[in-house]
């Protein structure tokens, strides 16, 4: 457990080529340092610098190319499985002291003195510089401290995105940010740092609009500086500093920023696809389960849904159900609050509302089973095997060590016995930041004990993994649903997430939107926010209305709160605002298949769900302005009103397509800023590209609707043109053949007089219905054929607008 000896020479080491093994090129320095260079894909290379010649970083739990899980004990640092490992050119220039590795898309030039790396990518016309190490002291070769550093020369006009969940603007330039996991309840979404999730991934876009990505595979509390610091002795630079371990980083070539984001998502693992019910409205509040009559209060929530005709598919059950006195004890049911726990679960299931119970990875010292787990060595411990005690909620406690297979097995057993066996189908993995600051803390490391400080966030990931494994084992024919508060790179493989315990304020509403975009650019798209604000005062009616209006467009939609004034954020908390809120929640019900389709694309094709305008319109300079509008998938533009008292919003529409306001079917030409009405009711300003289609649910939006109706809103191009579209429509168990997902497929061909639509169902499962509803704008009067037959359209209200609808056999 002692730190390895490092070289003490202060001069730049001289490297020489000493080996080549498949995709790996090895360089060895005169100081004993070793650098492994990996050519993994045409557009992905990797540098692993071992300052003392041996691997000191723990196995990786982040790199999982296209995979949905990793086996224990994690990925060996020299493992290249899962990558294409293409052929590449390797050239030495002894006179210049250079080594060059080249693929069709990426070129790495290494100055052998000091290992200075320069990166170029091919943009189709020639090689373009994208990144280069700082020419002065780019790395720590052992003479500074025990930390790991990487300094790069900052290029003029560079913009920096990513790092997962961060406060403030999307562009991180000029900031210094610490990546660790903290329980930061009531955070300032504009300024506070760090937050709950940390992903050491940087998407850099240069002044010419070309993009590349840089991922550091470290969990040792890295710090990133994007020009906050400067020194007279060095050119302008940016850097990453990790507290320990080796420098291990991946370069992903562009030049397309959207492709870079997709490739990084692939690199860190296939996003989990949650069941469709997980996309519906999820109720929650701490107040219900903290009440002495919690089961009765939970029943009142179902009554409220029925009374107001609100569609709801799940409820996040806060930890009060586990209490003994005023403290919380994971995997314990309080039978005073819930005298009939199984009956309570059954009552929610009968109402079509799935429970998502809160579970925490620490046991308080007073937990009835603390002594048992401590005796078995299942907590994070010190070198002598004694549990490390940490502040946790109401008193001191100790964290479960998920790198101990026996502890993880116990956890899976408790999830099964205390939750799944009751009829519950989900888990809410909460308070899992693992705030262990004791430097003596050690992880079991699957039989290879390691200092906890080197990889604290891995426990968060392994907690999700263990919970997911329990759900899969209990119901192997169902897709599991997990939600997590904390996380790291690769978390998308296991869970949905949200922006944590936010503070009730108007600026939180704005900057939570940007936090979600930052996560989506970092591989994590299944996200949302606590609608109305979690901590602080109750939201004023207008703020609650705007938060709901913005929230119905996010993959996760939950109203959750712990208001300091004792109030509860509920859809009906303000009678005057309730009709508008109910109307918006019914619109959310209609949008569920659209959002589930986008989440499937995230799962199947690694596409981000929410995205800044510039990701799809990089050539439009105005799209790079940091505004409030964003894209939902490739074809929808959302422009929520995020300020008090406004009645309209100014929205820039990216150049190229024409955009159709889905609230009135008015068409706008792209490339201009337009002023759009923004009432506190109905959809937010929501525009679709002309020549797109969108899957909707037209079933009655009442409480726990029985059967969904599949419908496609088609926005055909004016005049002559056409497009192809497919939409994911799965409602039950997983489909048997991953190569044939359940999709509706359309081709639309137009001329000035006619619209020809071909519609069919693909996949090995039966279609959810034998008829597909097709919707056109009310002003669309061209003759329409569906599968070669004339289609009769009649007026119908869709998304609050009268349009034309035809129900067609398929």
Alpha carbon distance 522, 534 (integer Å): 24
SS3 at position 710: strand
% residues pLDDT > 90 (the chain): 94
Alpha carbon distance 767, 139 (integer Å): 57
To 5 degrees, how large is the angle CA 84–CA 85–CA 90? 150
8-22, 366-380, 406-420, 474-488: least confident range: 8-22
Alpha carbon distance 693, 772 (integer Å): 13
Quick one: pLDDT band at residue 3, thresholds 50, 70, 90? very low
Q: Which helix (H) or strand (E) holds 251?
A: strand 247-253
Per-residue pLDDT, averaged over 712-728, amounts to 97
The model's pTM: 0.97
Quick one: pLDDT band at residue 137, thresholds 50, 70, 90? very high
**Per-residue pLDDT, 706:** 53
Quick one: tokens of 399? Answer: 């964290």
Residue 9 confidence (pLDDT) above 80: no
* Residue 21, CA distances (Å) to 17, 208, 677, 778 in order: 12, 36, 62, 64
* Residue 502, CA distances (Å) to 529, 534, 562, 581, 610 in order: 8, 5, 10, 21, 20
pLDDT in tens, 138-168: 999 988 999 999 999 999 999 999 999 999 9
Q: Which residues contact 522 (CB under 8 A, 6 or more apart)?
A: 162, 163, 164, 199, 201, 264, 489
Q: What is the mean pLDDT of the chain?
A: 95
Residue with tokens 């990133």: 224
- Supply φ then ψ for residue 137, to 5 degrees: 50, 65
Per-residue pLDDT, averaged over 92-102, amounts to 96
Q: For 114-137, b where at least 16 C-beta lie within 10 A, e where not — what string? A: bbbbbbbbbbeeeebebbbbbeeb
pLDDT in tens, 508-540: 999 999 999 999 999 999 999 999 999 999 999
% residues pLDDT > 70 (the chain): 98
**Per-residue pLDDT, 702:** 65
Per-residue pLDDT, averaged over 489-493, amounts to 98
Alpha carbon distance 307, 511 (integer Å): 34
Alpha carbon distance 667, 569 (integer Å): 37
**Per-residue pLDDT, 8:** 44
Quick one: tokens of 529? Answer: 């926010």
Alpha carbon distance 520, 607 (integer Å): 9
* Rg from Cα positions in the chain: 27
**Per-residue pLDDT, 117:** 98
Beta-strand pair 362-364/395-399: antiparallel
**Per-residue pLDDT, 806:** 96
Alpha carbon distance 477, 91 (integer Å): 52
Residue 100 confidence (pLDDT) above 80: yes
**Per-residue pLDDT, 765:** 85
Per-residue pLDDT, averaged over 772-795, amounts to 96
* Residue 363, CA distances (Å) to 283, 290, 386, 387, 443 in order: 27, 19, 15, 11, 17
**CA atoms 306, 307, 310, 315: torsion sign:** negative
Environment class of residue 212 by beta-carbon count within 10 Å: exposed (0-12), middle (13-18) or buried (19+)? buried
**Per-residue pLDDT, 177:** 98
3-state SS track over 394-463: CEEEEEECCCCHHHHHHHHHHHHHHCHHHCCCEEEECCCCCCCCCCCCEECHHHCCEEHHHCCHHHHHHH
Alpha carbon distance 787, 789 (integer Å): 6
Q: Domains of the chain by range and CATH?
A: 15-268 (2.60.40.1760), 322-489 (3.20.20.80), 709-809 (no CATH)
Residue 472 confidence (pLDDT) above 90: yes
Are 159 and 204 in contact, with CB atoms under 8 Å apart?
Answer: yes
Alpha carbon distance 688, 672 (integer Å): 15
**CA atoms 237, 238, 241, 245: torsion sign:** negative
**Per-residue pLDDT, 303:** 97
Residue 734 confidence (pLDDT) above 90: no
Alpha carbon distance 748, 714 (integer Å): 9
Alpha carbon distance 464, 455 (integer Å): 16
260-269, 637-646, 735-744: least confident range: 735-744
Quick one: tokens of 569? Answer: 């954020």
**Per-residue pLDDT, 733:** 62
Alpha carbon distance 271, 94 (integer Å): 45
To 5 degrees, how large is the angle CA 636–CA 637–CA 641? 140
- Supply φ then ψ for residue 688, to 5 degrees: -120, 145
Cis peptide upstream of residue 154 (ω within 30 degrees of 0):
no
Residue with tokens 């557009």: 43
Quick one: pLDDT band at residue 810, thresholds 50, 70, 90? confident
Per-residue pLDDT, averaged over 110-123, amounts to 97
3-state SS track over 715-726: ECCCCCEEEEEE
Residue 130 confidence (pLDDT) above 90: yes
Total residues found in the chain within this entry = 810
Quick one: tokens of 39? Answer: 């050519």
Residue 6 confidence (pLDDT) above 60: no
Q: Which helix (H) or strand (E) holds 262?
A: helix 257-268
Environment class of residue 95 by beta-carbon count within 10 Å: exposed (0-12), middle (13-18) or buried (19+)? exposed
């Amino acid at each position: 457990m002692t730190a390895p000896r490092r070289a003490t020479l202060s001069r730049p080491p001289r490297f020489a080529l000493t080996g080549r093994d498949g995709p790996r090129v090895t360089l060895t320095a005169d100081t004993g340092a070793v650098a492994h260079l990996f050519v993994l894909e045409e557009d992905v290379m990797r540098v692993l610098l071992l300052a003392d010649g041996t691997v000191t970083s723990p196995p990786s739990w982040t790199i999982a190319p296209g995979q949905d899980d990793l086996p224990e004990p994690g990925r060996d640092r020299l493992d290249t499985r899962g990558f294409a490992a293409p052929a590449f050119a390797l050239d030495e220039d002894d006179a210049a002291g250079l080594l060059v590795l080249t693929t069709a898309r990426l070129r790495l030039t290494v100055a052998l003195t000091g290992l200075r790396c320069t990166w170029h990518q091919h943009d189709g016309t020639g090689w373009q510089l994208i990144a280069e190490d700082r020419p002065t002291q780019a790395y720590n070769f052992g003479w500074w401290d025990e930390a790991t550093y990487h300094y790069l020369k900052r290029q003029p006009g560079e913009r920096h995105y990513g790092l997962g969940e961060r406060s403030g603007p999307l562009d991180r330039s000029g900031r210094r940010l610490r990546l660790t996991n903290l329980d930061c309840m009531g955070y300032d979404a504009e300024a506070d740092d760090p937050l709950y999730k940390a992903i050491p991934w940087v998407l850099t876009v240069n002044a010419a609009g070309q993009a590349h990505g840089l991922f550091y595979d470290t969990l040792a509390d890295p710090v990133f500086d994007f020009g906050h610091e400067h020194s007279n002795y060095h050119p302008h630079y940016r850097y990453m500093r990790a507290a320990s371990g080796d420098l291990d980083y991946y370069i992903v070539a562009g030049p397309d920023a959207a492709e870079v984001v997709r490739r990084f998502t692939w690199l860190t693992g296939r996003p989990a696809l949650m069941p469709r019910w997980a996309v519906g409205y999820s109720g929650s509040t701490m107040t219900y389960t903290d009440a002495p009559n919690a089961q009765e209060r939970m029943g009142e929530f179902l009554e409220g849904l029925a009374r107001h005709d609100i569609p709801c598919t799940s409820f996040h059950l806060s930890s009060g159900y586990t209490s003994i006195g005023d403290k919380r004890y994971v995997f314990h049911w309080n039978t005073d609050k819930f005298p009939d726990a199984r009956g309570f679960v059954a009552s929610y299931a009968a109402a079509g509302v799935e429970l998502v119970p809160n579970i925490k990875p620490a046991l308080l010292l007073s937990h009835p089973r603390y002594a048992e787990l401590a005796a078995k060595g299942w907590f994070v411990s010190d070198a002598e095997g004694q549990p490390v005690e940490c502040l946790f909620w109401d008193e001191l406690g100790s964290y479960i060590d998920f790198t101990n297979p026996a502890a993880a097995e116990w956890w899976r057993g408790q999830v099964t016995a205390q939750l799944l066996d009751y009829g519950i189908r989900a888990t809410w993995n909460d308070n899992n930041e693992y705030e262990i600051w004791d430097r003596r803390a050690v992880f079991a490391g699957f039989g290879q004990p390691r200092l906890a400080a080197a990889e604290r966030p891995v426990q968060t990931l392994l907690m999700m993994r263990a919970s997911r494994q329990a759900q899969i084992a209990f119901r192997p024919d169902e897709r599991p649903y997990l939600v997590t508060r904390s996380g790291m790179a690769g978390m998308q493989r296991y869970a949905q997430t949200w922006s944590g315990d936010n503070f009730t304020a108007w600026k939180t509403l704005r900057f939570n939107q940007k936090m979600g975009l930052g996560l989506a650019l970092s591989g994590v798209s299944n996200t949302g926010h606590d609608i109305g604000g979690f901590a602080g005062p109750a939201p004023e009616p207008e703020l609650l209305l705007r938060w709901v209006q913005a929230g119905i467009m996010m993959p996760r939609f939950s109203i959750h709160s712990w208001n300091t004034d004792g109030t509860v954020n509920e859809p009906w908390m303000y009678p005057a605002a309730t009709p508008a809120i109910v109307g918006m929640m019914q619109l959310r019900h209609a949008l569920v298949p659209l959002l589930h389709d986008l989440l499937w694309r995230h799962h199947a094709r690694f596409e981000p769900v929410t995205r800044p305008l510039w990701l799809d319109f990089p050539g439009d300079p105005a799209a790079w302005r940091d505004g409030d509008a964003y894209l939902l998938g490739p074809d929808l533009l959302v422009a929520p009103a995020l300020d008090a008292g406004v009645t309209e919003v100014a929205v820039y529409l990216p150049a190229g397509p024409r955009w159709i306001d889905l609230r009135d079917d008015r068409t706008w030409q792209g490339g201009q800023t337009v002023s759009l009405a923004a009432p506190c009711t109905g959809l937010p300003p929501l525009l679709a590209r002309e020549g797109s289609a969108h899957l909707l649910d037209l079933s009655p939006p009442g409480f726990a609707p029985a059967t969904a109706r599949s419908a496609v809103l088609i926005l055909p191009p004016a005049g002559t043109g056409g497009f192809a579209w497919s939409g994911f429509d799965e409602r039950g168990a997983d489909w048997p053949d991953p190569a044939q997902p359940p999709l509706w497929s359309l081709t639309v061909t137009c001329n000035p007089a006619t619209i020809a639509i071909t519609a069919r169902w693909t996949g090995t499962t039966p279609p959810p219905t034998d008829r597909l509803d097709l919707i056109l704008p009310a002003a669309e009067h061209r003759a329409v054929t569906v599968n070669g037959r004339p289609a009769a359209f009649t007026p119908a209200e869709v998304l609050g607008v009268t349009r034309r609808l035809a129900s067609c056999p398929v």
